[in-house]
């Protein structure tokens, strides 16, 4: 215990007595790496969480229950049984189909999703995430259709316009019969995911029965639960309760490649940013090598009075630990501050850039009749469909970042510490 206390005491004395520019740079580099990692990963977590929520709430479900082909299952009975589970928050029958729309401007294929006319009251998550930008989300009429905003812009349709939809009835495309129906546009929606807003339309189940020639036996059932990460437990319960005849899949099965790609992206960016901390570790090595050279005489005296090489090694490894801890603590606090206030920081930076643009335009460009450039936006609403910057701090990420930053500093300190422990006391005292 006494030896450990001596190691910490001497490490602190040596570090403070020879506080160099290199030590300051070491701490700053480690702090900057931690700040960058916390901020970047928190914004990525926010984007991924928002992206995942948009997909699960507006296009897919947490669990999809598909009736067996040609079966005689009673969909109302299935809904009643599922609704008894307290972990299930919504049960919605739906049908996915495809069709072709034609307008004066475009003829193209679309995805058609059919819901009960009261889907907004049945599915709170869908109602919360979907945004009606024009008109109303009204599926009560057999000829009502709600289009994605980007799809409506491309087709050149407005609220109240009629748009023809062509589909094919039958499972065998060679024998399928074309079906034509005229729909009235009652609303435009925005999900926050461009692919959906560009390609998707909603109609009622009653309209789907006519348009696709399907019945209740052809419908799937969308299930949402209170905790999406416990769907496997609900999946087992559904199979035990309703039997193995029903085909049940989870959101992880459907979206696995996409969400794995997002996770790999996070890991890749985290690894690249971690190199900043590694570069700080080289400064730790340089700082401690300079300390060892400056304290060579003191190290020789310690060795002469009986200090073991392990004690000398401990002293300088602890110096590396101090540098890593100080840098990490500064990085965590500043990283939290920047992350929490990132939107205000972005707004401030945008204001500066746009202010400089206005000055340059008024002084140099306007006299020549050049058009005013667009406002600079770090995250454009038209591209990302966001209201504010999504931020989500995961304390697990912060803990891993902090441990790695301190560990890298300690590892970096080992080389100069080992070099110090190999000091020969007689030669050192003689020449120093």
Report the range of poorest mean pLDDT among 242-251, 332-341, 398-407: 242-251
How do the domains of the chain map onto residue ranges? Answer: 2-51+260-431, 68-245
How many helices (H) and strands (E) are present in the chain, helices listed first?
16, 10
* Percent of all residues in the chain with a pLDDT value above 70, rounded to a whole number: 85
Please give the Cα distance from 112 to 93 (Å, whole number).
14
> Quick one: pLDDT band at residue 115, thresholds 50, 70, 90?
very high
Among candidate residues 391, 383, 329, 372, the one with its CA nearest the CA of residue 49: 391
386 vs 186, which has greater pLDDT? 186
Local confidence band at 73 (pLDDT 50, 70, 90 cut-offs): low
Q: Are 123 and 163 in contact (CB under 8 A)?
A: no
**Residue bearing the bigger pLDDT, 263 or 101:** 101
pLDDT at residue 361, rounded to an integer: 83
Which pLDDT band holds residue 352 (cuts at 50, 70, 90)? very high
pLDDT above 80 (res 422): no
Radius of gyration of the chain (CA): 32
| pLDDT for res 2 | 44
Q: For the residues 272-290, what does the mean pLDDT come to?
A: 78
Are 274 and 33 in contact by the 8 Å Cβ rule? The answer is yes
Find all residues with CB under 8 Å of 260, minimum gap 6, and list them: none
Averaged pLDDT for residues 89-105: 91
Residue 75 in this model has a pLDDT that exceeds 70: yes
């Amino acid at each position: 215990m006494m030896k450990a206390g001596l190691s910490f005491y001497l490490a602190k004395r040596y570090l403070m007595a020879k506080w160099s520019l290199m030590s300051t740079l070491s701490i700053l580099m480690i702090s900057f790496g931690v700040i960058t990692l916390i901020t970047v990963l928190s914004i990525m977590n926010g984007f991924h969480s928002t992206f995942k929520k948009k997909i699960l709430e507006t296009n897919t479900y947490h669990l999809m229950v598909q009736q067996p082909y040609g079966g005689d299952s009673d969909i109302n009975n299935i809904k009643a049984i599922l609704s008894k589970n307290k972990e299930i928050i919504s049960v919605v029958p739906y049908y996915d189909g495809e069709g072709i729309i034609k307008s004066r401007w475009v003829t193209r294929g679309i995805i058609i999703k059919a819901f009960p006319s009261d889907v907004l009251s049945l599915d709170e998550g869908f109602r919360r995430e979907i945004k009606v930008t024009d008109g109303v989300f009204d599926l009560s009429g057999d000829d009502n259709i709600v289009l994605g905003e980007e799809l409506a812009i491309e087709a050149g349709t407005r609220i109240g316009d009629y748009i023809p939809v062509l589909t094919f009835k039958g499972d065998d495309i060679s024998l399928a019969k074309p079906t034509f129906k005229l729909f009235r546009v009652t609303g435009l929606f925005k999900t926050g995911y461009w692919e959906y807003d560009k390609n998707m339309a909603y109609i009622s189940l009653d309209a789907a029965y006519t348009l696709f020639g399907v019945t209740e036996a052809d419908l799937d059932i969308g299930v949402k639960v209170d905790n999406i990460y416990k769907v496997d437990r609900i999946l087992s319960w559904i199979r035990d309760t309703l039997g193995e005849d029903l085909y049940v899949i989870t959101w992880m099965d459907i979206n696995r490649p996409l969400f794995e790609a997002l996770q790999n992206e996070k890991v890749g960016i985290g690894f690249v940013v971690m190199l900043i901390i590694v570069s700080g570790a080289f400064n730790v090595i340089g700082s401690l090598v300079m300390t060892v050279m400056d304290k060579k005489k003191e190290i020789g005296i310690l060795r002469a009075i009986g200090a073991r090489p392990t004690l000398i090694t401990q002293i300088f490894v602890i110096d590396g630990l101090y540098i890593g801890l100080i840098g990490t603590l500064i990085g965590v606090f500043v990283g939290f501050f920047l992350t929490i206030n990132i939107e205000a920081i972005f707004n401030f930076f945008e204001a500066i850039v746009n202010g400089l643009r206005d000055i340059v335009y008024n002084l140099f460009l306007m006299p020549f009749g050049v058009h005013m450039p667009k406002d600079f936006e770090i995250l454009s609403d038209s591209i990302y469909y966001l209201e504010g910057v999504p931020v989500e701090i995961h304390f697990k990420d912060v803990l891993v970042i902090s441990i790695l930053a301190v560990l890298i500093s300690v590892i970096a300190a080992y080389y100069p510490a080992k070099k110090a422990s190999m000091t020969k006391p007689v030669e050192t005292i003689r020449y120093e």
